[in-house]
A and B are shown apart, each in its own frame.
Chain A
Amino acid sequence: SQTIHQWPATLVQPVGSPLSLECTVEGTSNPNLYWYRQAAGRGLQLLFYSVGIGQISSEVPQNLSASRPQDRQFILSSKKLLLSDSGFYLCAWKGWSEAGLTGELFFGEGSRLTVL
């Protein structure tokens, strides 16, 4: 069966410090991978998605970046964090479905970032 892991689970970082969140998926090959952010009391905002190694689609302008160095690894980074980067970051992979339809997302347990 497929599993998804992301870490760290919780982190507190000062403004201006770098960030690296990592996500790996097991039990599937060439998955579509996603990073979402959820600010406190808000909905999920799509940040990046990737359909393959080295292929990244960015959804919102920001000081974050994403990379996919391996088939089942997705990394979210920042060189300098802002206060507004605080939130709950969720990695997800997209399941398979019938032709023409979009599969469901399955989420990791999330990484809660507080920028001070």
Chain B
Amino acid sequence: RKEVEQDPGPFNVPEGATVAFNCTYSNSASQSFFWYRQDCRKEPKLLMSVYSSGNEDGRFTAQLNRASQYISLLIRDSKLSDSATYLCVGNTGGYNKLIFGAGTRLAVHP
């Protein structure tokens, strides 16, 4: 089992839709999780931190379910500009080792 797993997608949704991504992790001792956004041929940029049960920032909500070992990202009222790859990250390899999932691709269309 991979340390951090994501559905690669792509998720094709219309503008205004609500879309959710899940990410599972293998190490139950992991404490810190993040969602990053990566545009084509660019570096990943931090979207949200998920330290405890959840976090909300505008249209974006991230949640952590420790019992089932997954985190989720919910995007409401999708915009064309939300089209990107979303990367799930956790310190599943230890305190200093941040492991990335392969990413979930989102395409928002008019």
Q: Which residues of A approach B to under 8 Å, CB–CB?
A: 32, 34, 36, 42-46, 49, 51, 57, 59, 88, 90, 94, 97-98, 100-110, 112
Contacts and interface: CB of A to CB of B under 8 A. Distances in A.
B44 A44 contact: yes
B34 interface: yes
B51 A101 contact: yes
Given A43-B87, A46-B93, A46-B99, A110 B42 contact: yes
Contacts of A44: 44, 87, 100
B45 interface: yes
B78 to A, nearest CB: 23
B34 A51 contact: no
Q: Taking chain B's interface residues, is the majority helix, strand, or loop, or is none over half, making it mixed? A: loop
Given A100-B31, A101-B51, A102-B31, A110 B100 contact: no
Nearest to A50: B96
Main secondary structure of the interface of A (DSSP, over half): strand
B87 A104 contact: no
Residue among B32, B43, B49, B99 with most chain A CB within 10 A: B43
Nearest to A45: B100
Interface residues of B, number: 24
A101 B97 CA distance: 12
Contacts of B46: 104-106
Contacts of A102: 31-32, 91, 95-96, 98
Interface of B: 31-32, 34, 41-46, 49, 51, 87, 89, 91, 93, 95-103
Contact of A104 (B31, B49, B102): B49
A101 B93 contact: no
B95 A110 contact: no
A107 B31 contact: no
Given A49-B97, A107-B43, A101 B31 contact: yes
A94 B96 contact: yes
A102 B103 CA distance: 20
Contacts of B93: 46, 59
A102 B49 CA distance: 10
A44 B51 CA distance: 21
